[in-house]
């Protein structure tokens, strides 16, 4: 047994703390009675717990009519602060749906980020945490207005420009020596943006130490306009400059002003079919977050029919793929769902290339493909397999981590695939040559690229993306990883 004051089982961790507290609990008890208020409190706790868990947090304690939550435990990520704010805003919206008689339930929410000392024991995880940010979260929550989310400056820096904020000025919080800037989180920013722009786009400065990689990307793009397209994989751990390299390339002289499509994968939507593609199409179609399902479908239909100029059959097929909200009686029910989906993906791949036909070279970017959903992986394979027929450079960025782990047969795509590894720089074609800083990668590096992305270049054979092709291996990797979790 660990004696009080002993350090065994303790860890220092960086977390984001969310405090939620019901307003006017005494009045509610008097109005609803103890049993009635107990029922309301149970519903409130259940709603908060469900929201927090969906966004990757844990509920450490129920403090009477309040809730103490942590984001970053037991596993930390760079999005913990953003997840906490998303959860807090969702809780605010859920308060109106929590039954509380004739009286609307109200709460205050406070968020603070920082370092704490916690119990590492699984049964005690998050309880009795010690750190200034825990007290600061409580103080911020106490000053928040009803049904609003207030947060500290440390959290503001971590979430970047992901949310619309209101400056609430600088306040002296009880028990904290230094005055604290306080902000109110209003809502998530809408519109199409990448994680890099949301979290780091406000930071100024030039790209340093990546000129060789940038020169290689520019050279590959210029070559794509003459000799057919290729795919490029950029591999690096988090924070080593993958997105910054891509953004600098898009703004460089050869690429500036040419059509470019940047599709952003998301850790929260790895199970959402075609998430990065549908999100982009919704932005093009003018779909807003407040649109009802019928309005959303109408806007997507208008994009397909009036902009893409597709017929009724193709429109129905693509709408079923990107907007599968309800059963569609006009679909051909004689073919299987899998066959219909494959046919729709094939048609969507054709349309992506057709949308820029005759406009010269163009760029297609898939950011953070380690979070790619299986259906998007199938589409990506089709695009890579056909890249050699078009003046395109397809850029993939990925971390050196699962789920993109090689375990099936080699791919069979004719499109040359290149590799960029940030920090330990190796750039090269996956088909010829000797190793070197600016030469095509050797066999070892080619194998490493396919280990991480399931892609190999310039193998003869079937390019349809079958079970032995890139789609079969890449999708199998993702499906297997989603079922079993990260290896090792």
Q: What percent of the chain has pLDDT over 90?
A: 31
If you average pLDDT over every residue of the chain, what do you get?
75
Per-residue pLDDT at 421: 57
Per-residue pLDDT reduced to its tens digit, 339-381: 889 999 999 999 999 988 888 888 999 988 988 999 999 999 9
Q: Which CATH architecture has domain 12-189?
A: 2-Layer Sandwich (3.30)
**Ranges 122-136, 235-249, 270-284, 447-461: which has the least confidence:** 447-461
Highest mean pLDDT among 3-12, 221-230, 262-271: 262-271
Q: How far is the C-alpha of 184 from the C-alpha of 98, rounded, in Å? A: 23
Per-residue pLDDT at 361: 86
Per-residue pLDDT at 335: 67
**pTM of the predicted model, to two decimals?**
0.65
Per-residue pLDDT at 463: 33
Q: How far is the C-alpha of 287 from the C-alpha of 281, rounded, in Å? A: 9
Would you kindly state where each structural domain of the chain is located, as residue ranges? 12-189, 203-484
Higher local confidence (pLDDT), 190 or 69: 69
Q: What percent of the chain has pLDDT over 70?
A: 70
Per-residue pLDDT at 410: 31
Q: What is the mean pLDDT of residues 6-11?
A: 62
12-189 matches 203-484 in fold:
no
Q: What is the mean pLDDT of residues 426-453?
A: 32
pLDDT band at residue 73 using 50, 70 and 90 as cut-offs:
confident
Is the distance from CB of 377 to CB of 465 less than 8 angstroms?
Answer: no
Per-residue pLDDT at 137: 94
According to DSSP, residue 67 is labeled E
Superfamily of domain 203-484: P-loop containing nucleotide triphosphate hydrolases (3.40.50.300)
> Of 453, 429, 424, nearest to 443 (Cα)?
429
Q: How far is the C-alpha of 408 from the C-alpha of 53, rounded, in Å? A: 34
């Amino acid at each position: 047994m660990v004696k009080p004051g002993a350090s065994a089982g303790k860890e220092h961790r960086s977390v984001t703390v969310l405090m939620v507290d019901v307003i006017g609990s005494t009045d509610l008890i008097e109005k609803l009675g103890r049993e009635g208020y107990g029922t309301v409190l149970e519903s409130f706790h259940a709603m908060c717990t469900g929201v927090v868990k969906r966004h990757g947090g844990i509920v450490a304690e129920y403090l009477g009519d309040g809730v103490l939550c942590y984001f970053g435990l037991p596993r930390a990520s760079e999005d913990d602060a953003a997840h906490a704010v998303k959860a807090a805003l969702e809780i605010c919206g859920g308060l109106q749906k929590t039954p509380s008689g004739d009286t609307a339930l109200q709460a205050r929410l406070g968020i603070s980020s920082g370092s704490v000392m916690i119990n590492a024991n699984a049964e005690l995880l998050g309880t009795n945490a010690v750190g200034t940010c825990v007290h600061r979260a409580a103080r911020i929550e106490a000053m928040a207005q009803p049904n609003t989310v207030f947060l500290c400056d440390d959290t503001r820096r971590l979430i970047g420009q992901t949310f619309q904020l209101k400056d609430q000025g600088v306040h002296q919080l009880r028990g904290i020596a230094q005055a604290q800037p306080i902000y109110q989180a209003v809502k998530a920013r809408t519109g199409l943006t990448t994680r890099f722009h949301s979290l780091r786009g406000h930071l100024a400065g030039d790209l340093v130490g990546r000129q060789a990689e940038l020169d290689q990307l520019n050279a590959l793009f210029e070559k794509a306009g003459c000799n057919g397209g290729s795919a490029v994989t950029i591999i690096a751990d988090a924070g080593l400059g993958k997105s910054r390299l891509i953004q600098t390339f898009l703004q460089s002289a050869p690429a500036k002003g040419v059509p470019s499509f940047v599709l952003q994968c998301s850790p929260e939507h790895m199970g959402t079919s075609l998430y990065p593609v549908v999100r982009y199409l919704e932005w093009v179609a003018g779909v807003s977050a407040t649109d009802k399902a019928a309005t959303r479908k109408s806007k997507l239909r208008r994009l397909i029919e009036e902009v893409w100029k597709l017929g009724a059959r193709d429109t129905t097929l693509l709408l079923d793929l990107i907007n599968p909200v309800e059963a569609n009686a006009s679909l051909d029910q004689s073919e299987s769902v899998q066959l219909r989906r494959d046919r729709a993906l094939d048609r969507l791949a054709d349309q992506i290339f057709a949308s820029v036909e005759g406009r010269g070279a163009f760029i297609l970017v898939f950011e953070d493909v380690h979070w790619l959903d299986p259906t998007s992986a199938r589409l990506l394979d089709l695009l890579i397999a056909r890249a050699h027929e078009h003046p395109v450079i397809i850029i993939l960025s990925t971390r050196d981590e699962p789920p993109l782990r090689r375990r099936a047969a080699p791919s069979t795509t004719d499109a040359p695939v290149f590799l960029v590894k940030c920090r330990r720089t190796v750039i090269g074609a996956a088909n010829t040559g000797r190793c070197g800083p600016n030469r095509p990668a050797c066999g070892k590096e080619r194998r490493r690229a396919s280990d991480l992305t399931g892609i190999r270049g310039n193998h003869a054979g079937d390019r349809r993306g079958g079970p032995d092709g890139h789609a079969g291996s890449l999708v199998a990797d993702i499906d297997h990883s989603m079922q079993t979790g990260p290896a090792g």
